[in-house]
Amino acid sequence: MQIIHTVQELRQWRKNAGRVAFVPTMGNLHEGHLALVREAKKRADHVVVSIFVNRLQFGQGEDFDRYPRTLQQDADKLAGEGVAVVFAPDEKELYPHVEQRYNVEPPHLQNELCGRFRPGHFRGVATVVSKLFNIVAPDVACFGKKDYQQLAIIKGLTEDLNFNIEIVPVDTGRASDGLALSSRNQYLNETERAEAPRLYRVLNGIADALKGGNLAYADLESAAVRELEAAGWTVDYVEIRRAASLETAHAGDKQLVVLAAARLGQTRLIDNIEVDLL
């Protein structure tokens, strides 16, 4: 496995690489990332994993500075998965100018759901993913469904900007108690970690209610918020949306997704569950 730090070297390697599957990450890899890598391996001759903590997608006061940077441990994990290349550029390599001059601006969806609470986040994601797509030029790229809104935005930009890349959504990896795997879980203290699986339980409760024929979306959302708040969470949102587009759900919609973001102490967790009423 090679660790490549520059765009030029990556492009050189890419010339002879055949079919490539790509997994973009910010490092600090856990089983959820490795599941993306295993999915990628099934689909191409070579897998490239990028590790880059992207300043552009962090807002003021967010955890950019303390985001764990663990390149050596990450590389050790990836070597065991048969990855061909780890692309780990430094900041100057991807952002040589003081300010990124050209950005990829997603549509209004970027200001909804998580975007309401993280202004500029999805613009930062769309910009770095577009740059990485241009550099790696993969045939396939794998993204986790845990970041459901990110996945929708990346599908949209791939289509609208004509990237010739198949986007493969991968199911959320979970701990045995249901908590969605995330690098941010390590910020939770012991009490918070014990409480954290409630988020998924609450989403499952809504999914069961929907499947049982209760389509009072607003009531289901507010009951979920109340349950979380009563257990000490600060809730950003719990929303039922159309799965394909993330538009507001209407009565009669069959393919839904229930999404939530909420904070336990200082740690913001997100999760979602797809609900198929067909």
128 binds ligand PAF (CB under 6 A): yes
5, 30, 33, 250: the catalytic one is 33
249 binds ligand PAF (CB under 6 A): no
Distance CA(17)–CA(200), nearest Å, equals 40
Whether 33 is catalytic is: yes
Minimum distance of ligand PAF from residue 233's CB (angstroms) = 23
Task: Report the chain's terminal Cα–Cα distance, integer Å.
Answer: 45
* Interface pick for ligand PAF out of 39, 74, 139, 147 (rule CB under 6 A): 147
* Interface pick for ligand PAF out of 129, 224, 235, 264 (rule CB under 6 A): 129
24 binds ligand PAF (CB under 6 A): yes
Minimum distance of ligand PAF from residue 220's CB (angstroms) = 28
Distance CA(254)–CA(257), nearest Å, equals 10
Which residue, 30 or 43, is less far from ligand PAF as judged by CB?
30
Q: Where are the beta strands (DSSP E) in 30-98?
A: 46-51, 85-87
Length of the chain: 278
Distance CA(69)–CA(51), nearest Å, equals 9
DSSP 57: G
Is the CB of residue 268 less than 8 Å from the CB of residue 184? Answer: yes
142 binds ligand PAF (CB under 6 A): no
Footprint of ligand PAF (CB under 6 A): 24-26, 54, 57, 125, 128-129, 147, 150
User: Catalytic residue numbers?
Assistant: 33
